[in-house]
Amino acid sequence: MLALLQDVANAASEASAIGWSNLGKALGAGLTVVGAAIGIGRIGGAMTESMARQPEIAGNIQTAAIILAALIEGAALFALVIAFLI
């Protein structure tokens, strides 16, 4: 009987550890996505503002903004992979 109770207690502690692990993964993924969204939003806002001030270099600004957004998304994807591997 005592061995059965110990097995139940061990299973409960393992389930609790898995639950905390999943919570950490979810928080890591959520913070990663929020950070990437803030970064891309700031790039978009700055791009729009600078193109309104100097419309003649809009093409150069747009190209640079697209490259920066791609770099932010790459970093966010890397962070998501790390969050799920931990």
Q: Spell out the domain ranges in the chain.
A: 23-85
Residue 54, exposed/middle/buried by CB under 10 A (0-12, 13-18, 19+)? exposed
Specify the pLDDT at position 56: 92
pLDDT in tens, the chain (86 residues): 556 555 555 655 666 767 788 888 888 888 888 999 999 999 999 999 999 999 899 889 999 999 999 999 999 999 888 887 87
- CATH fold group of domain 23-85: F1FO ATP Synthase (1.20.20)
Q: Are 76 and 36 a contacting pair, CB within 8 Å?
A: yes
Residue in 84, 64, 71, 62 with CA at minimum distance from that of residue 39: 71
Cα 58 to Cα 74: distance, rounded to the nearest angstrom: 24
Cα angle, residue 64 at apex, residues 61 and 65 outer, rounded to 5°: 85
